[in-house]
Amino acid sequence: MLAVVILAPVLLVLYQSVLDGAFFSEHAHLSLDAYRYVLSDPDFYSALKTTAIFTAGMVLISLPLGAVLAFLMTRFDMRFKAVLEILILMPMFLSSLILAFGYVVTIGPQGFLTIAWRAFFGKEIWNVYSLAGMTVVAGLSHVPHVYLYVSSAMSNLPTELEEAAQTCGSSPWRVLVDVTLPLVTPALVFATMLNVLLGVEVFGIPLILGDPQGITVLTTYIYKLSTMMGTPSYELMAVVAVCLLFMTLPMVWLQRRLLRRSQRFAVVGGKGARASSLSLGVRGQMLAMSIICGWLLVSVVLPISGIAIRAFVTAWGAGTDLWQQVSLQSFRDVLATPALVRSIGNTILLSVGGGGIAVAVYLMIALASHRNRSRSAVVLDYLVLLPRALPGIIVGLAFLWLFLFVPFLAPIRGTLLCILLAYMVVGLSYGLRIIQSTLLQVSPELEEAARVAGASIGRAWMDVVVPIIRPGLVGAFVLIMIVFIREYSTGLYLMGSGTEIVGPLIITLTQSGDLNPGAVLALLNILMIVAALGLALRLGARIRD
Amino acid sequence: MGAAACTGLLTAKARAQSSPSALIKTAQTEGKVVVYSTTDSQYSQPMFKAFTRKFGVVVEENALATSNLYSLVISEAAANQVGSDVVWSAATDLQMALQVAGHAQVYVSEETSALPDWARYRDALFATSIEPVGFAYNTRTLQVDEVPHTYADLIRFVSESPKLQGRVATTDAEKSGLAYMLHANDAKRHPQAYWKLAAAIGKAGAKTYVSSANVMESVTSGENVLATHVNGSYALEIQAKNPNLRAHFLSDFTACLLRVSFINVRAPRPNAAKLLQDFMLSHEGQSILAANGLPAARGGEGSSPLRKLKDITGVEVEPIKLDETLLENIDKGKRLAFVRDWKKAIGR
């Protein structure tokens, strides 16, 4: 059943790639022309190369930073933990398109910080419109993805081992490198993998920061294929998507190899408890705070202040007095447009309600598979990452076609339910992974004990396993909620009048005219999520105590 | 084919004579009308609201980007799940492609007949507005009288002015279908000047943008000083709100695009579709569109639409030809050849 849901869009894309026209056209025939075209196009290879550099750079920045942040936040008596946690997750709330745009407003060539810098120091030393600029922006903004995985794994680790190390005189740094990191290897590997996939899939950042200069990555290359021939060349787009799929498979294989003996990581056994945090000391606090604040400044304050300013002004740039431009005009315009107002309500419903449903479904899948060492578990590992590997533009089209051409799905097209189904497939890899990686730490003896005591499998799960992994579930819920709010390309073809959602709407709004309504929606989007996340974390915190 | 079109035309003509009040009544029983549209809702909503107020028929507007709209229309038709009644897009060439593929219904009424001939194609495609192709510049860097009004002077200006080096922008003819249409039409109608300008902005290090909003944003902020081949209507609208940007048009050649609508041949609510199509082309609908920044395609009493557009832009405008030659835009060979030349000229 699951396989059918996931494989349907993938198979459709595969089929489309070996045709010479749209699959539903009477004139389409089997043909490998599309492969010949793409594989002999020098632009494809240069996009591939740029993508590789971009992704590698992104992972190199996000992985260490995310791991260090998670370590500081989960293991030590950091102050203002609750607030910091929300702030750390902030960059994830923004679609990369919005994020990139926020940076342009603050540190672009005419950004207000750039202009201020010039007044004091002369020419600025950065350039966001470059491959390096793109990579740094993407790397910093993907830190939360690492953080979320690693911290949810760390918060389930008992602290005894680390306390032991610290008692023996190890510095926090040594504790991290020698004790904690090895124990959370599964989460680190998942996070790396996911970030590689995300890096290949990022669209907004290369589009805004790279494209005007002619820096093309695979996603912007696919975008080009949708218009280059006049009418969309579905077959060429499908070919590139298939190439991306084949790049994913070896990564999943690698991950499986690395984690083959996952039993090693089971440390939450029949005894032991999650215990208190370690002490950092005053100097340690200050150092940790400055690392966190430095990162927050660059990856949260800069882009979000850019968006916030842009939402309140209609003109900016050199020679413009921002104070004179401040007005609520853009907000009034948005509130006067029913579709835009509707989109806000729909998005909340989809992310909170839909997110809850999604996590429940993912939990069932995870429970059904995690003690299962049979071949189907192997297949599942490969399956869940497949839709993630498809670029958003393609996923959006594939789902449109499924809902159009599969008879029993057709009636729900045009409802929020159809958007939720598509989103659940897209969010599957995120949600399932986070649940699985916490499940891995629960050693089987706990369930075995419950079974011996006479509980059924379902009872053992509900009464023993689920309560233990609850922090992981909350983490998964928050993540899925964010993914659903932020997602923009999947819903492009699925939303209609009455089922508008903010993410795709921002894309449509930025096609023509001006960016005013888009900026307002982006800002409202951020505020909405901060509220939702604050609530979720409060819930999570109570559970963790 | 010709005969079929003729009979289609005749029956449509016959239908057009049926009383509008009958049409209103049937439209009202259909209750709503669904529009697939690429028009920003700030431009379209006032007109749709007026329609609903007048007839009590709700307009559901699905906002889409041009190529998404095209994909959605052909996919729905192939799946036999048509959702749109009226299809309204700024991509004149893709609308023509949809008409040729048989998605547009022939419709003749008092309102459609009042359109100028160049704004109508086979009584199936109707231009609702005409939008000049133009330039936009940043007023904090360039003075109003500084920017030349002819191609030759502008080319010299781009090559010589130090303020423009590295700060010229244009729309991306390779990655955006709308941009391709603007560039290809200018290249066809005014080849020598067009290619010289392309080479000049290439030498000045032109940046290319896929969306109209982003190119305008870069000019209002001053990241770029001059942008070529942008939708002049949008530029004029931004100019009205934002002192940093000014729209600019050339006197020796300025083309205008046609925003085109048609009734889906398999519209689920055919009568509401007709009623809305009529309203969009009526004096009332046209003047609401014009008041919100989309210049009318239909003339008012005693004035032609082109004359009105001249009053706005200050130059003569030439509408893009609404005929089969637009299909050259979706001919792969021709398109790839043009894009190759274009990329070479602008230095990509």
Which of B61, B138, B231 shows the shortest C-beta gap to A497?
A: B61
Task: Count the Cβ atoms, other than its own, within 10 Å of residue A261.
Answer: 7
Instruction: Indicate if the pLDDT at residue A542 is higher than 60.
Output: no
Amino acid at B98: L
Query: Closest-CA residue in chain B for A514?
Result: B213
Mutation target among A106, A494, A511 for the B interface, most CBs of B within 10 A: A511
User: Which has the closest alpha carbon to A409: B266, B79, B85, B77?
Assistant: B79
Query: Closest-CA residue in chain A for B294?
Result: A513
A-chain CB neighbours of B237 within 8 Å are 513-514
How many CA atoms does the CB half-sphere of A151 hold within 13 Å?
27
Q: Note whether A108 contacts B180, CB cutoff 8 Å.
A: no
Report A:478-537 residues touching B (Cβ under 8 A): 492-493, 495-498, 505, 507-515, 517-518
Q: In sequence order, what are the beta bridge partners of B125? A: B121
Q: CA torsion A146→A148→A151→A157, rounded to 10°?
A: -110
| CB-based contact B273:B85 (threshold 8 Å) | yes
Which of A337, A397, A512 shows the shortest C-beta gap to B71?
A: A397
Q: In sequence order, what are the beta bridge partners of B94? A: none
The more confidently predicted of residues B202 and A99 is B202
Q: What is the 3-state secondary structure (H, E, C) of A359-399?
A: HHHHHHHHHHHHCCCCHHHHHHHHHHHHHHHCCHHHHHHHH
**Predicted local confidence at residue A265, as pLDDT:** 58
Provide the pLDDT confidence category of residue A259 given band limits of 50, 70 and 90: low
Query: Closest-CA residue in chain A for B72?
Result: A493
The more confidently predicted of residues A259 and B35 is B35
**Predicted local confidence at residue B4, as pLDDT:** 46
**Predicted local confidence at residue B147, as pLDDT:** 95
Q: For the residues of A57-76, what is the DSSP string, one character each? A: HHHHHHHHHHHHHHHHHHHB
Lookup: tokens for A453: 């005591």
Q: Which residues contact A302 (CB under 8 A, 6 or more apart)?
A: A102, A103, A106, A107, A113
User: Which has the closest alpha carbon to B63: A284, A119, A251, A493?
Assistant: A493
Model confidence pLDDT, tens digit, residues A421-434: 989 988 888 788 77
Task: Count the Cβ atoms, other than its own, within 10 Å of residue B163.
Answer: 12
**Predicted local confidence at residue B75, as pLDDT:** 94
Model confidence pLDDT, tens digit, residues A78-87: 778 777 877 8
pLDDT by residue for chain B (348 residues), tens only, comes to 444 444 444 444 444 444 589 999 999 999 999 999 999 888 899 999 999 999 999 999 998 889 899 999 999 999 999 999 999 999 999 999 999 999 999 999 999 999 999 999 999 999 999 999 999 999 999 999 999 999 999 999 999 999 999 999 999 999 999 999 999 999 999 999 999 999 999 999 999 998 888 899 999 999 999 999 999 999 999 999 888 999 999 999 999 999 999 999 999 999 999 999 999 999 999 999 999 999 999 987 778 999 999 999 999 999 999 999 999 999 999 999 999 999 999 998
Whole-number CA gyration radius for chain A = 24
| Maximum CA extent, chain A | 76
Query: Closest-CA residue in chain A for B334?
Result: A229
Q: What values do phi and psi take at A37, rounded to 5?
A: -65, -55
Rounded to whole angstroms, what are the CA distances from B254 to A52, B135, B202, B258, B310? 43, 10, 21, 13, 10
Report the alpha-carbon distance of residue A278 to residue A166 in Å, rounded: 9
| Maximum CA extent, chain B | 65
| CB-based contact B49:B77 (threshold 8 Å) | no
Which of B211, B218, B234 shows the shortest C-beta gap to A510?
A: B211
Which of A220, A317, A333 shows the shortest C-beta gap to B42?
A: A333
User: Which has the closest alpha carbon to B342: B203, B238, B222, B202?
Assistant: B202
Average per-residue pLDDT for chain A: 84
Contact of A327 with chain B, judged by CB distance below 8 Å, is answered with: no
Please give the average per-residue pLDDT across A1-27, as a whole number: 87
Q: Note whether A404 contacts B180, CB cutoff 8 Å.
A: no
DSSP-based helix, strand, coil % in chain A, nearest 5: 75, 0, 25
Which of B211, B213, B330 shows the shortest C-beta gap to A231?
A: B330
CA A496 to chain centre: 25
Task: Count the Cβ atoms, other than its own, within 10 Å of residue B178.
Answer: 30
Q: Note whether A214 contacts B208, CB cutoff 8 Å.
A: yes
A-chain CB neighbours of B218 within 8 Å are 212
**In which residue are the tokens 């003109």 written?**
A315
B-chain CB neighbours of A317 within 8 Å are 138, 140, 220-223, 244
B-chain CB neighbours of A22 within 8 Å are 74-75, 78
Q: For residue A430, what is the enclosing H or E element?
A: helix A416-439
Q: Note whether A498 contacts B60, CB cutoff 8 Å.
A: yes
Model confidence pLDDT, tens digit, residues A373-392: 667 777 777 787 777 778 87
Q: What is the 3-state secondary structure (H, E, C) of A76-99?
A: ECCCCHHHHHHHHHHHHHCCHHHH
Q: What is the ipTM of this complex?
A: 0.86
Report the alpha-carbon distance of residue A93 to residue A189 in Å, rounded: 23
Lookup: tokens for B235: 């530029």
Rounded to whole angstroms, what are the CA distances from B122 to B94, B101, B119? 16, 13, 10
Which of A232, A319, A410 shows the shortest C-beta gap to B71?
A: A232
Contact of A319 with chain B, judged by CB distance below 8 Å, is answered with: yes
| CB-based contact B179:B229 (threshold 8 Å) | yes
Q: Nearest 5°: CA angle at B238, between B233 and B241?
A: 135
Classify the phi-psi angles of A319: left when phi > 0, otherwise alpha if psi is within -120 to 50, otherwise beta.
left
Q: Nearest 5°: CA angle at A22, between A388 and A3?
A: 35
Q: Which residues contact B62 (CB under 8 A, 6 or more apart)?
A: A495, A496, A497, B34, B35, B36, B37, B83, B84
Model confidence pLDDT, tens digit, residues A288-311: 889 889 999 998 899 999 999 999
B-chain CB neighbours of A232 within 8 Å are 67, 70-71
